[in-house]
Amino acid sequence: MAALLEFLKRYNYWFIFILLEVASFVLLFRFNSYQGSVWFTQTNSAVAKVNSIYTDIEAFIHLDEVNAKLTKQNSVLQMQVSRLREQLKDAKVQPTINDRHILDSLSGFRLYSAKVVSASIVKNENYIVIDKGAADGIKPEMGVVGGGGVVGIVSMVNRHHSMVLPLINRNSRISCRIRRTGYYGSLTWEGGSIYYANLMGVPQYARAKHGDAIETSGYSTVFPPGLFVGKVRDVKPAPDGLSMQLVVNLGTNFGNLRDVTVFENLHKQDILELMEQSDSTISKPAN
């Protein structure tokens, strides 16, 4: 207490000066309209600036969450657009489009949001690791899609992480089709650039051309049809001389991939069981 009194005694002139300055500013701005308006304007400007900075900081903090939501929404929209495109084709014969049917077709897949935690893009057998695993419902043979297009297929899973076999892996094979014509082939990657892959086995009469959109065909239990893969950059004869090889500019930028969506086909087991029954029936000798 004695030290506090000694401090106040030593610097009492400074405290009196500050008090008088505050009082003078109050009198100046309160009883003079011009100075008061200047003070009010500058104060509001300063508060607005602080609020703007606070809003920007808050938005940056939640940017990852926003990106994840946008990635998932983009995947859902791709599925909806694909269904609508198919329904519009059918509308030439059947003029009514049933919204309920579209929603039912989308209900066959469950979507999971995930983030890339590790990746390789400079090898021939590249890989991607995501932060969701068996504990989150992820299983092998699930499709993975990013904001720009198809990413790959889940190959291995542990409790909290999964490894994805991306399109830029020599062992990757994905059934894709030309959106404009519907002809399909197998998308493969031969190494080199991470921006291009090859769609092999496309018939020569498929009328493919530069700029054609390439999408998933839906001829597997991994991906729904209509998910964007990339665009045709070049068309040339395949090595077998019987088909075409389409050079595809991939829609996914694997160099900065972060947020992804994992697709689970809820009817996969039923489809596989039906295929197994069909195989056994065909291979069974006739009586």
The residue behind tokens 């059947």 is 94
Q: Is the pLDDT of residue 179 over 80?
A: yes
d(C-alpha 36, C-alpha 205), whole Å = 80
- Span 186-205, mean pLDDT? 95
d(C-alpha 81, C-alpha 89), whole Å = 12
pLDDT (tens digit, 9 = 90+) per residue, 227-284? Answer: 999 999 999 998 888 899 999 999 999 999 999 999 999 888 887 777 777 766 665 6
162, 167, 171, 175 alpha-carbon torsion, rounded to 10°: 110
- Span 82-104, mean pLDDT? 49
Top-tier CATH class for 71-279? mainly beta
Give the pairing of strands 243-250 and 162-166: unpaired
d(C-alpha 100, C-alpha 73), whole Å = 19
E strand or H helix that includes residue 259: strand 259-265
Higher pLDDT, 104 or 83: 83
- Span 97-124, mean pLDDT? 73
pLDDT (tens digit, 9 = 90+) per residue, 36-50? Answer: 555 555 665 565 566
In the prediction, which pLDDT does 170 show?
96
Each domain of the chain, given as residue ranges in start order, spans: 21-61, 71-279
Q: Residue 235: phi, psi to the nearest 5?
A: -125, 125
From residue 266, alpha-carbon distances to 62, 142, 146 in Å are 31, 11, 20
Q: Give the torsion sign (CA, 53, 57, 58, 60).
A: positive
In the prediction, which pLDDT does 105 show?
45
Instruction: Single out the residue of 202, 174, 201 nearest to residue 188, CA to CA.
Output: 174
Instruction: Single out the residue of 109, 110, 114 nearest to residue 71, CA to CA.
Output: 114
Higher pLDDT, 258 or 11: 258
Tokens of 191: 């190494």
- At 166 the three-state DSSP class reads strand
In the prediction, which pLDDT does 128 show?
95
For residue 101, name the pLDDT band (cuts at 50, 70, 90).
very low
- Span 116-134, mean pLDDT? 94
The residue behind tokens 């949001």 is 113
For residue 127, name the pLDDT band (cuts at 50, 70, 90).
very high
In the prediction, which pLDDT does 10 show?
74
pLDDT (tens digit, 9 = 90+) per residue, 206-218? Answer: 989 999 999 999 8
From residue 232, alpha-carbon distances to 60, 74, 101, 103 in Å are 36, 21, 31, 30
Q: Which residues are 129's β-sheet partners?
A: 118, 163
CB 172 within 8 A of CB 153: yes
- Span 218-227, mean pLDDT? 89
- Span 52-69, mean pLDDT? 61
